[in-house]
Amino acid sequence: MKLNYQIEELEDIATQILNEANSKYILFSGEMGAGKTTLIKELVKQLGSKNKVSSPTFSLVNEYEGEKNDIYHFDFYRIDDETEAFDMGFEDYLDDKHYVFIEWPEKISNLWPEHYTFIELKLDEHNSRSLTLHEF
């Protein structure tokens, strides 16, 4: 799936992602400012969470209570080595009962789950975003 969208269309984009994704493990790739956290905020909202969503850049993981499932939101931007993710028990979060959203998955490429949805985000010069969704 490939889409171009403006920030005003975020609600519809998040709905499409939740309908299309074949996995509860969703990896978000894109440069700083591409809209990863903003998109995750809308996904968490649509999953029924009343929690305030923020980037877990310093804590590495935030947990949100969804309507049916817990949601774990990781941001690995600040880690230097994937052993940091392993040491924090990242693999313990990979339970298919929960949603797991991962920003900067490139930093932990050897720890990715076997099956996942990969979303690549890009921001263009007109503040439009492109999203490409891949299933693995």
Tens-binned pLDDT, residue by residue, of the chain (136 aa) = 999 999 899 999 999 999 999 999 999 999 999 999 999 999 999 999 999 898 887 789 999 999 999 999 999 999 999 999 999 999 999 987 899 999 999 999 999 999 999 999 999 878 889 999 999 9
Going along the chain from its start, the domains and CATH numbers come out as 2-135 (3.40.50.300)
DSSP states of the chain = -EEEE-GGGHHHHHHHHHHH-S-SEEEEE--TTSSHHHHHHHHHHHTT--SPP---TTTSEEEEE-SSSEEEEEE-TT-SSHHHHHHTTGGGG--TTSEEEEESGGGGGGG--SS-EEEEEEE-TTS-EEEEEEE-
- pTM for this predicted structure: 0.94
